[in-house]
Structure 1
Amino acid sequence: MAQPPDLDVSYAASVIGAIWYLALWAISLLGCWESRKRYRCRPRSPLASKPSNTVPGVSILRPLKGLDANLYENLETTFLQEYSNFEILFSVADERDQALSVVRELITKYPQVKAKIITGEEVVGVNPKINNLIRSYGQAAHDILWILDSNVGVDRGTLARAVDVLTGPYSQGHNRLGKPIALVHHVPFAVSSRSTIGSRIEEAFLNTNHAKMYVALNTLAWDSCVVGKSNLYRRSDLERVTGPHKKANTRGGDSPEQERGLRAFARYLAEDNTIANSLWHELDIRHDLSCDIARNVVENMTLSDYIWRRVRWIRVRRAMVLAATLLEPLTESVVLSLIGSASLRFLFSVPIWATLLAHYSFWLFVDFDVYTSLAGQPMPWDGRSQFLAAWAARELMALPIWLLAMCGNDVTWRGERYTMLKNGEVEKATSTTGWTRFWLSRRRDDYEPLATM
């Protein structure tokens, strides 16, 4: 007896839903397992104790703007690297920038470290970070560059271990597929000492679901997946690329008008991911994570700040990888639990409540385990209730924030408003709607100015 057509459709949908559900769980478990292997043991690199004439030189570029939270402590971690051959270049667009007093104090405190301040920007595109870095990029003494955001702190051994991954002996500078490593990056780990709601939610997001998926996707290495908080790569490689997804003619046959190097990425807002994409696709070389984290200090973030930060990066991703962005809600815990419970109910008569209970229990356990791996210690018991509330809020808000992001093209970054174009390019926004004006009036710059007397 033939089955009714609607039953066939329901069966097919349930099978697809169950496969999708199990696939996402497999990726989550991979991220959890790889986090355990990679981050729970951080051996000291042999490069940490070698003399300067035996290790590759590294130029550390730190772009600055204003007083980020914990700026002194973040910048000091750069001076304290256990590595004998590096210099630090601090890039500041405005010679009156308040971050300069912090930098000068540190340079005085550590006179043995090669460090200098480079002021003034070169406007080569709409991306202010690129404009700020152009002069430092040109004046760097070494081929290996470590670009490190000002709101990030790192462990003393981070540089040595990153150079290990880039050049060997770790994997002999190659990934498991035998292709050269061109870029080493670090998973962001949020740190917040203040109980503002936005900071807590951002902390819960970055340290669990984001980290889990970030580690898993980089383990699978299907494509480039890089966040630019802390990236190490060679300037000589960057000088060979001209933009994302364009096959470079490495024999020198490209048009001389094509821009190369850092300048070629000034028209993109997410220059970090775009640079990584270009190295991957143009030169067919790969990226890797080291066993360190980039401690990203997030302070005084309101709920509105958190929402619009997520909106901004969803809109950026949509312009760069549309298909993946459209599928994103189906990877989030709430929507995924509904897909899984409905599919298992239809196929195997599993009660929906049982699937939901098991789903959220194990999902939370995996997220806590990822947090423990990255932090190097379990979460303190007295902070778990706050973290759990922030985690639940993040999960419940994921779909509404995604829907909001789909309803516009404008993003705000460092007090400037941009319109997203195709392939992740941006231009300065020229018009402002009433709705946007309302929200922009509530936004503040991503740093805290000093109180004036």
Structure 2
Amino acid sequence: MIVAYLLSALYIIGQLLPTALLLRFRRAGRGFESRYGTAPLSEEGISVLMPVKGPEANLAENIRALLGQDYQGKIELVLAFQEEKDADLAVADLIAAEYAGHPNRSVKILRGMATLGLNFKNSNLAQAASAATYDWLYCCDADTRVAPDHLRRAITLAQLHAYRGKTSFITSISVHENAGQPGAWLEAIGTNMEFANYFLLSHLSPKAGALNGASMFFHRETLDAIGGFRAYLNKITDDLAMQKAFVQAGALSILLPTLTRVSLRSQTFSGFYKRQLRWQLIVRCFDPITFYLLAPLNWAGQWLLFLAALSGSAKLATLGLAVLGVRLLRSFVFQIALGTPVRDWAKSICLPFYDFISPIIWLNTILVSQVQWAGAKLNVRRDGTLCAIRAVTNSYSEVTNASR
């Protein structure tokens, strides 16, 4: 019982710490302008790189959010379409026409990207970066919506560190909301709990902070110092692989106190399982300590209930239920603090199911080192390198951002 009480105490502390960090993160967001001002040191041009695979239900809204930024400098949006006849090209062409001749906003559309490696997203980003006009680069997924002040805040922090003689890469936390199917509910709950948890804890150190592939801001020189996107054409992910390289090159990881949002209206249970499996594979490859040691500790409630079932101990069962109750309460707190719609809060009741399926996904990740992409089944080596088993088509990945 002493071990059980100790495990429970450590677990509860582990739930309270990220909650405190999240509240501090939100407070930093509210006080950003009072600390850093309302304008960057210089309003330099920014190129936004967005790889696209349609149909994306919210593409027009997400593009307009980028072009409508509260930033007086120039913003160039580079849309990289894998397919020459992508379903969303009409949307892109329409918005590009709207901004034709705008003094500070422009849209560049790349069609039918060449396949440079097994990671199609990185292939598209490499070609988009080559076509970009400006040296400040922001990489954003097509399903991601940014706040009106996102780019202004990002370049403010980046320029401040550059002024101090430090290079940096800046990222943000993604929040999933408006989930419309059970699979999407699980995806949103898991992302809003575990993803936010992982980022908040990792960014306790500027040399360990994780990088979110859906929202990355850095200077071209910083990117070139790690070989550019072309160095990661055959990696399972761009973000965690690049994060390690950035840190080794001396760059600091900065967590922008501004959230990005993803409307996850449709997601099957199968899609949820595959995305979680890929995420666990990524963590196993690039952060093995978290995968092998910290992840199992996150299942304290399940362990206690399992031991209670074996021993018939009512005390262990009560303790296990109490631990799971604390986690459920934290889920509600996170949903509120992350600003998700009220209608999403009740979906936290799916958390117990998520918690009991997570160990199965974790075990699956240990036993099978493969991912399925459209038209290909790929092996994943220990260092995160992809190698083809079957023929690869020119199709985009089933999941545009494996790290979310």
> In 1, Cα distance between the equivalents of 2:306 and 2:361?
24
Hey, what does 2:64 align to over in structure 1? 76
> In 2, Cα distance between the equivalents of 1:414 and 1:74?
25
Q: Give the CA deviation at 1:307.
A: 0.9
The structure 1 residue matched to 2:255, chosen from 289, 307, 332, is: 289
| 151-160 or 129-138: bigger deviation | 129-138
Hey, what does 2:185 align to over in structure 1? 200
Q: Which has the larger radius of gyration?
A: 1
> In 2, Cα distance between the equivalents of 1:374 and 1:383?
11
Deviation digits for residues 372-415 of structure 1 (CA, Å, limit 9, x no counterpart) = 1111x7x52x5544x13322221121111212222212102355
> In 1, Cα distance between the equivalents of 2:39 and 2:357?
49
The structure 1 residue matched to 2:357, chosen from 376, 397, 402, is: 397
> In 1, Cα distance between the equivalents of 2:31 and 2:89?
34
Q: Give the CA deviation at 1:278.
A: 0.3
TM-score normalized by structure 2?
A: 0.85
Asked if residue 275 in structure 1 is aligned to residue 261 in structure 2, the reply is no
Hey, what does 2:132 align to over in structure 1? 140
Asked if residue 114 in structure 1 is aligned to residue 106 in structure 2, the reply is yes
Q: Give the CA deviation at 1:180.
A: 3.3
CA gap of 1:414–1:205, structure 2 versus 1, over 3 A, is same
User: What are the equivalent positions in structure 2 for 1:26-41 lying under 5 Å apart?
Assistant: 26-40=13-27, 41=29
Q: Give the CA deviation at 1:76.
A: 1.6
The structure 2 residue matched to 1:102, chosen from 91, 96, 99, is: 91
What letter matches 2:92 in structure 1?
A: V
User: What are the equivalent positions in structure 2 for 1:414-433 lying under 5 Å apart?
Assistant: 414-430=374-390
Contact 2:301 2:321 in 1 (8 A): no
> In 1, Cα distance between the equivalents of 2:217 and 2:383?
24
Asked if residue 187 in structure 1 is aligned to residue 176 in structure 2, the reply is no
> In 1, Cα distance between the equivalents of 2:170 and 2:178?
25
Aligned-partner SS, 1:424: coil
Q: Give the CA deviation at 1:236.
A: 0.2
Q: Give the CA deviation at 1:264.
A: 0.9
Contact 1:45 1:164 in 2 (8 A): no
User: What are the equivalent positions in structure 2 for 1:161-180 lying under 5 Å apart?
Assistant: 161-168=153-160, 172=161, 180=166
Q: Give the CA deviation at 1:147.
A: 0.3
What letter matches 2:287 in structure 1?
A: V
What letter matches 1:234 in structure 2?
A: H
Hey, what does 2:310 align to over in structure 1? none
RMSD value, Cα: 3.2
Hey, what does 1:157 align to over in structure 2? 149
Q: Give the CA deviation at 1:342.
A: 9.8
> In 2, Cα distance between the equivalents of 1:268 and 1:109?
37
> In 2, Cα distance between the equivalents of 1:122 and 1:431?
16
CA gap of 1:232–1:357, structure 2 versus 1, over 3 A, is same
Q: Give the CA deviation at 1:184.
A: 0.7
Aligned-partner SS, 2:377: strand
What letter matches 2:273 in structure 1?
A: I
CA gap of 1:49–1:109, structure 2 versus 1, over 3 A, is farther
> In 1, Cα distance between the equivalents of 2:139 and 2:251?
19
What letter matches 1:100 in structure 2?
A: L
TM-score normalized by structure 1?
A: 0.76
Give the unaligned 5+ runs of structure 1: 1-9, 242-259, 344-348, 433-443, 448-453
Hey, what does 1:6 align to over in structure 2? none
Aligned-pair identity in percent equals: 19
> In 2, Cα distance between the equivalents of 1:167 and 1:350?
58
Hey, what does 1:89 align to over in structure 2? 78
Asked if residue 234 in structure 1 is aligned to residue 245 in structure 2, the reply is no
Asked if residue 125 in structure 1 is aligned to residue 127 in structure 2, the reply is no
Q: Give the CA deviation at 1:199.
A: 0.5
Give the unaligned 5+ runs of structure 2: 308-312
Contact 1:44 1:157 in 2 (8 A): no
> In 2, Cα distance between the equivalents of 1:95 and 1:366?
45
What letter matches 1:158 in structure 2?
A: H
CA gap of 1:341–1:65, structure 2 versus 1, over 3 A, is closer
Q: Give the CA deviation at 1:150.
A: 0.5
CA gap of 1:24–1:410, structure 2 versus 1, over 3 A, is same
Q: Would you say how many aligned residue pairs link Structure 1 and Structure 2?
A: 386
Asked if residue 366 in structure 1 is aligned to residue 366 in structure 2, the reply is no
> In 2, Cα distance between the equivalents of 1:173 and 1:21?
44
Asked if residue 211 in structure 1 is aligned to residue 199 in structure 2, the reply is no
Contact 1:32 1:366 in 2 (8 A): yes
Aligned-partner SS, 1:219: coil
Contact 1:148 1:229 in 2 (8 A): yes
Asked if residue 64 in structure 1 is aligned to residue 52 in structure 2, the reply is yes
Asked if residue 312 in structure 1 is aligned to residue 304 in structure 2, the reply is no
Deviation digits for residues 327-362 of structure 1 (CA, Å, limit 9, x no counterpart) = 254133xx312557899xxxxx99324423432232
Contact 1:48 1:157 in 2 (8 A): no
What letter matches 2:168 in structure 1?
A: A
Contact 1:36 1:370 in 2 (8 A): no
Q: Give the CA deviation at 1:21.
A: 4.9
Aligned-partner SS, 2:259: strand
Aligned-partner SS, 1:62: strand
> In 2, Cα distance between the equivalents of 1:162 and 1:271?
20
What letter matches 1:371 in structure 2?
A: Q
Deviation digits for residues 266-317 of structure 1 (CA, Å, limit 9, x no counterpart) = 1212112111110012x12221111111212223211111111111221233
Aligned-partner SS, 2:257: strand
Contact 2:167 2:250 in 1 (8 A): no
